[in-house]
Amino acid sequence: MDLHLRHAAPTDDERAAVDALLGPPRSAWDGGERGDIRDAHTAAGGREAREQRHLLLPALRALQARVGWLSETGLDYVCARLNVPPADAWGVATFYALLSTSPRAPRVLHVCDDIACRCKGAAELIETLERTVGPAHSHAPHGDQVAIDPEGAVWMRSPCLGLCDHAPAAFVQEAGVEPREFLVGDAAAVILGEGEGSRSLRRSFDSLRSLRMTSNGAQLGMTSNGAQLGVTVDIPQRGDPALILLKRVGVVDPTAISAYRTTGGFDALRKAIEIGADAVIREVTDSKLLGRGGAAFPTGRKWDAVAKQPARTKYLICNADESEPGTFKDRVLLDGDPFAIVEAMTIAGFATGCERGFLYIRGEYPLGAERMQHAIDESREHGFLGADILGRGVRFDIEIRRGAGAYICGEETAIFNSIEGYRGEPRNKPPFPAQAGLFGLPTVVNNVETLANIPFIVLEGGAAFARIGTEQSAGPRLFCLSGHVTRPGVYEVPFGKTLRELIELAGGVANGRTLQTVLLGGAAGVFVGPDELDMPLTFEGVRAAKATLGSGVILLFDDTVNMSQILLRIASFFRDESCGQCVPCRVGTVRQEEALYRIASGKPLGGVAQEIALLDEVGLAMKDASICGLGQTAYSAIESAIHRVRVLGMT
């Protein structure tokens, strides 16, 4: 492979950003100064250079954070450093929503436009921004000489930011030498302040800069320079002694390893190493723990399959790419109890024979990434990670990889491609990850919440865990209550509670209004009606009711909501987040959105009934013929809204 580069010099900022990640170049072959005669007698490339490919996304993120967009010279320099063809890098860069491939102001406000935030005024916030600030930022065509105001600011719409308990939410990216990223809760109040419409976006940014964002008395997203570590995260059940997964959240300082250890931290890791890998897998199998990311696969069986693989190198991935609309449980765990995730990953790595783990966290969770990095560094320093864990010769380490705005990267094979530096397109299965996953090697992929159960299982035993909950649904479960509910937040309950009990736990429908419908399991889940609240929220209970728990979303819509707009937003979400690889999903999500748009705008083709028939046909093809779960479930929620809750009044 010959790289066709422009060899146009990167700006000082671009070079500094990339070199900070990769170190200085070694020769002209990998982006260094040209003209040194010694370079004419050596050559770099081949396997060693190709092994750098997995650093492509981190390098692109570094450029974005420093400069605010990816210029031709910046991309060219990254390609030279990593030996990646520019067209390939372009394909990766244009895949991610948080990377800008055209000139853009350094400060960007991403305003959530998704279903949970729409229950809390997101549409009004966006309408106000459009009216007072101007239209959302869009791509400047290639070749346009767009002057960037170094103090400028733009706003854009965003899919669910995982801050539904503090809706409406926003996410701020601020590029520069000291880049900042943070989530903003209660964004309407924060951004618009009292003098609605009178402020420019720029002034909003100035106020954001100095603001300490508070909500329910707790501070949320913070700066990324570590100065504000130690901020607590709030949950409604804070301090409840019955909690297992959330017991430390909001109570124990998430930045202090000493606080973690005095509350039982790393006891499970010590015990795991004592009893041995086989015994750990046996306990996890006995616990009947099922994956909490949405697919509900038995964790013990997954671990066992990887442990049995003869390959010498295997990988563990903790999937923290939580992006399902209405889901924010993993954020609370990452922000509130990061050491527990480190410990759980280490136990998983030890049990399955992985020496290297990746934590893939969505780009919109800067605080979680910062807390996790801190926890990893501290743990390594104290001998809980590294080449000789607890002095017992166990080797395991964790590396954080941050996403850049792509829901699909949470799919268990797309996450491999994203980490390897390719477009986050799902792979065909088989082969399954346990056989050929990350870098083609056996890989365990577990969701954050799944792993959070592990320390308890190891300490108390699989049988004790299996006694919690019901026969087929063991253990505690996190539910994300949002929308029109009195006390939105993450709730931990043992499996077996009904939907009604969960809603009552969160204070019922907000403002005493009437419940119209509940979305269970997220945008890929199912709408249920107010007559189905006695459904037990167990795997067997929802299966019997032809519903799903998905990622634990319980999103309430009261009778004021125009559901055809909500369905349209869900369709729009899938159209935006489809990777575009396979035809049923790439075109099907477009046709689905078009049909719902025609219905919502009163222009149905041949009547609403005909449009619904069309939606059913498109939905079935997406479900049957798409490569991955995104396309296969893209019609699920819409189908249930139409046929189960009958929000369009037909059928």
Partner 1 sequence: MTAASQPLVQLQRPTHATDQSRRMSTRTISCTIDGTPISVREGTTIFDACRQMGTEIPTLCFLDTLHPVNVCRVCVVELEGARVLVPSCSRAVEEGMVVHTNSPRVQHSRKLVLEMLASSVDLSTTPNVAEWIAEYDAKPERFGPPAPPAPAGTRDASIAGHHAPPNPDFAATVAEPTKIDNDLYVRDYAKCILCYKCVEACGPDHQNTFAIAVAGRGFDAHISTEFAVPLPESACVYCGNCIAVCPTGALMAKTEFDKRAAGNWDESRMTATDTICPYCGVGCTLRLHVDEGEIVKATSPLENAITQGNLCIKGRFGWRFVQNTAAPAGSDVGNGRH
Instruction: Say whether residue 159 binds partner 1 (CB under 8 A).
Output: yes
- 428 in contact with partner 1 (CB under 8 A): yes
Q: Contact between 173 and partner 1 (CB under 8 A)?
A: no
How far is Cα 623 from Cα 436, in angstroms, rounded to an integer? 25
According to CB under 8 A, which residues from 328 to 347 bind partner 1?
Answer: none
Task: Note the Cα 366 to chain centre separation in Å.
Answer: 11
Give the β-pairing of 180-184 and 526-528.
unpaired
Minimum distance from CB of 217 to partner 1 (Å)? 33
- Give the shortest CB-218-to-partner 1 separation in angstroms: 29
Among 15, 288, 329, 427, binds partner 1 (CB under 8 A): 427
Yes or no: say if 340 and 492 are a contact pair by the CB < 8 Å rule: no
Cβ-contact 564, 641 below 8 angstroms: no
Verify binding: residue 594, partner 1, rule CB under 8 A. Answer: yes
Instruction: Kindly tell me which of 547 and 595 has the beta carbon lying closer to partner 1.
Output: 595
- Cβ(482)–Cβ(167) under 8 Å? yes
Site for partner 1 in 44-73 (CB under 8 A): 47-48, 50-55, 58, 72
Q: Which stretch binds partner 1 (CB under 8 A): 156-164, 208-216, 494-502, 554-562?
A: 156-164
- Binding range to partner 1, per CB under 8 A, among 24-32, 465-473, 486-494, 614-622: 614-622
Q: Residue written as tokens 């009904």?
A: 498
Pairing status of strand 153-158 against strand 214-215 = unpaired
CB neighbour class for 198 (10 Å; exposed up to 12, middle 13-18, buried from 19): exposed
Query: Cβ closer to partner 1: 306 or 458?
Result: 306
Which parts of 284-323 interact with partner 1 (CB under 8 A)? 313
Q: Does 441 bind partner 1 (CB under 8 A)?
A: yes
CB of 561 to partner 1, least distance (A): 19
Judged by DSSP in three states, 205 sits in helix
Q: Does 417 bind partner 1 (CB under 8 A)?
A: yes
Question: Rule CB under 8 A: which of 367-406 touch partner 1?
Answer: 397, 399, 405-406
Least separation in angstroms between CB 189 and partner 1: 26
Contacting partner 1 within 566-585 (CB under 8 A)? 572, 575-584
Stretch that binds partner 1, among 151-159, 264-272, 293-301, 505-513 (CB under 8 A): 151-159
- E strand or H helix at 402: strand 394-402
User: From the CB of 214, what's the least distance to partner 1, in Å?
Assistant: 29
Q: Is 587 in the site for partner 1 (CB under 8 A)?
A: yes
623 part of the interface to partner 1, by CB under 8 A? yes
Residues 6+ apart with CB under 8 A from 508: 485, 486
* Listed ranges 210-218, 242-250, 455-463, 613-621: which one lies at the site for partner 1 (CB under 8 A): 613-621
Smallest gap from Cβ 108 to partner 1, in A, equals 12
d(Cα 572, Cα 118) in Å, to the nearest integer? 14
| Smallest separation (angstroms) from partner 1 to the CB of 199 | 24
Structure-block tokens of residue 93: 């860069």
Q: Are 442 and 314 in contact (CB under 8 A)?
A: yes
* Closest distance to partner 1 from the beta carbon of 600 (Å): 9
DSSP-derived secondary structure letter, 271: H
Nearer to partner 1 (CB atom), residue 52 or residue 219 = 52
> Which C-beta is closer to partner 1: that of 48 or that of 559?
48
Stretch that binds partner 1, among 127-135, 208-216, 498-506, 619-627 (CB under 8 A): 619-627
Would you say 4 or 212 has its CB closer to partner 1? Answer: 4
Among 403, 490, 588, 644, binds partner 1 (CB under 8 A): 588
Taking CA atoms, 573 is separated from 81, 129, 541, 637, in Å, by: 35, 21, 28, 12
Q: Judged by CB under 8 A, how many residues of this single chain contact partner 1?
A: 96
Residue selected from 156, 334, 468, 547 as contacting partner 1 according to rule CB under 8 A: 156
Judged by CB under 8 A, the residue of 589, 633, 636, 640 near partner 1 is: 589
Judged by CB under 8 A, the chain residues 492 through 521 that form the site for partner 1 are none
Q: Which of 16, 44, 123, 140 binds partner 1 (CB under 8 A)?
A: 140
| Euclidean distance between CA atoms 464 and 157, whole angstroms | 46
Q: How far is the CB of 386 from partner 1 (least distance, A)?
A: 9
CA–CA separation, 113 and 574 (whole Å): 13
CB atoms under 10 Å from CB of 1, counted, come to 11
Query: Which residues inside 80-109 make contact with partner 1, applying CB under 8 A?
Result: 85-91, 94-97, 100-102
The DSSP code for 147 is P
Task: List the one residue from 605, 609, 650, 651 that touches partner 1 (CB under 8 A).
Answer: 605
Minimum separation from the CB atom of position 356 to partner 1 (A): 8
The secondary structure of 293-335 as a DSSP string is: SSS--BHHHHHHHHHT---S--EEEEEE---STT--HHHHHHH
Query: Is 416 a binder of partner 1 (CB under 8 A)?
Result: yes
Q: 141, 241, 310, 391: which one contacts partner 1 (CB under 8 A)? A: 141
Token digits for 134? 């101007």
* Residue 410, CB-side half-sphere exposure with 13 Å CA sphere: 26
The CA distances from residue 133 to 120, 126, 153, 485, 599, in Å, are: 21, 10, 10, 31, 31
Closest separation in Å from C-beta 619 to partner 1? 10
| C-beta of residue 5 within 8 angstroms of C-beta of residue 86 | yes
HSE value, Cβ hemisphere, 13 Å, CA-based, for 201: 26
* In contact, 314 and 352? CB cutoff 8 Å: yes
CB of 254 to partner 1, least distance (A): 22
Euclidean distance between CA atoms 106 and 139, whole angstroms: 14
Q: Which stretch binds partner 1 (CB under 8 A): 332-340, 436-444, 510-518, 543-551?
A: 436-444
Cα separation, 448 vs 320, whole angstroms = 6
Distance CA 304, CA 590 (A): 40
